Structure 1
Amino acid sequence: MKKVLILITGILFLNNSFGQEIELKLSLLGYNFSQNGQRLNWKELATVTESHVEANMLIKKAKSHNTISSVLSLIGGGLIGIPIGQSITDQEPNWILAYIGGGVAVISVPFTFSAFNKVNKGIDKYNLSLRSTSKSVMKPEFSIIADRNGLGISINF
């Protein structure tokens, strides 16, 4: 039992070095970033990743592309909504506005994909840099031991 407890403690100690990783989840309303169970917004995400320059630049570009995409989508949706509102109120709808709004909304799609790809790459680069630094500090070696008492796992630091 004592050996199992030591093994579990060792594994938890190894996993503890990866606790600073940033997680990205998509929701209906946008991106959800979290680190150690705490939610981060775009500004906090940029601040956290300042230690890794390349990841930070990708995240800043993703933030600007996300802003552009949101603005274009809002304008496009508004232009589409005006003629729909006019038709509901029995006015003569100006469908040219809806066509223009559809075009503006379509223009926002590449910015949306670009923002997602850049933030995903930035977070991956940041998380990989954490893993590489934790491995360089501590390089455990695992080996299987078999003797007259049975089988076991040896962890050398």
Structure 2
Amino acid sequence: MKSKTLLVVFLLFSAVSFSQQLTLKSGGKIYDSNNQKLSNAAVKEILAAQPELLAQYNQGRTKAAAGGFLLGFGVGLLGADLVTGITQDKIYPTAITYIGLASTIIAIPVLIGHSKKIKKAIDGYNESLLINKTGFNVEKINVITNQNGIGMRISF
């Protein structure tokens, strides 16, 4: 009886230990429970079982790419117009400066929004692990007595 109980306890702990929690650290890097950095493809593979979380993660990655492009484009235009204004005899600032400034300002909320979406997807995945912690549901537990002694019956 002791060996059966230990087997059940071992199976429960082994089922829980295979679920890996994800951690989002600064810089948008995602780590698993072993503190190893996961690639974008690995995170997508992990989230593939939950399509709504995968869609949210993909939206966050798309916003990150768009925000990075807008920020780089804006800073590039600002720098190019500044260098042109300094080296040539032109009136500074021109329309290029204003376009670059607008692109840079638009990039800020886009970049802030991407990290929130990715964080929600990772948090949703971690919460789903906590909900499905057991592999079975115990319906009822009965204490049984007979001529041989006292026992316990667990119905799954």
Q: Corresponding residue for 1:59? A: 57
Q: Corresponding residue for 1:111? A: 110
CA distance in 2, matches of 1:71, 1:122: 23
Aligned runs of 1:70-149 on 2, under 5 Å? Answer: 70-89=68-87, 91-92=89-90, 94-96=92-94, 97-135=96-134, 137=136
Q: Corresponding residue for 2:24? A: 24
More deviation, 78-87/96-105:
78-87
CA distance in 2, matches of 1:68, 1:18: 35
CA distance in 1, matches of 2:41, 2:129: 20
Larger strand proportion of the pair: 1
Is the Cα contact below 8 Å between 2:85 and 2:93 reproduced in 1?
A: no
SS at match of 2:132: helix
Uncovered stretches (5+) of structure 1, i.e. residues with no partner:
1-9, 140-157
Percent of aligned pairs with the same amino acid: 24
Deviation at 1:49, TM superposition (A): 1.1
More deviation, 31-40/119-128:
31-40
Question: Given residue 62 of structure 1, which amino acid in structure 2 is its aligned partner?
Answer: G
* Structure whose CA Rg is larger: 2
**Alpha carbons of structure 1 residues 123 and 74: separation in structure 2 relative to 1, 3 Å:** same
CA distance in 1, matches of 2:73, 2:129: 40
CA distance in 1, matches of 2:67, 2:91: 27
TM-score scaled by length of structure 1: 0.67
**Alpha carbons of structure 1 residues 93 and 42: separation in structure 2 relative to 1, 3 Å:** farther
CA distance in 2, matches of 1:18, 1:111: 35
CA distance in 2, matches of 1:49, 1:69: 23
CA distance in 2, matches of 1:137, 1:57: 29
Uncovered stretches (5+) of structure 2, i.e. residues with no partner:
1-9, 139-156
Deviation at 1:44, TM superposition (A): 2.4
**Alpha carbons of structure 1 residues 98 and 137: separation in structure 2 relative to 1, 3 Å:** farther
**Alpha carbons of structure 1 residues 45 and 93: separation in structure 2 relative to 1, 3 Å:** farther
Task: Count the aligned residue pairs.
Answer: 124
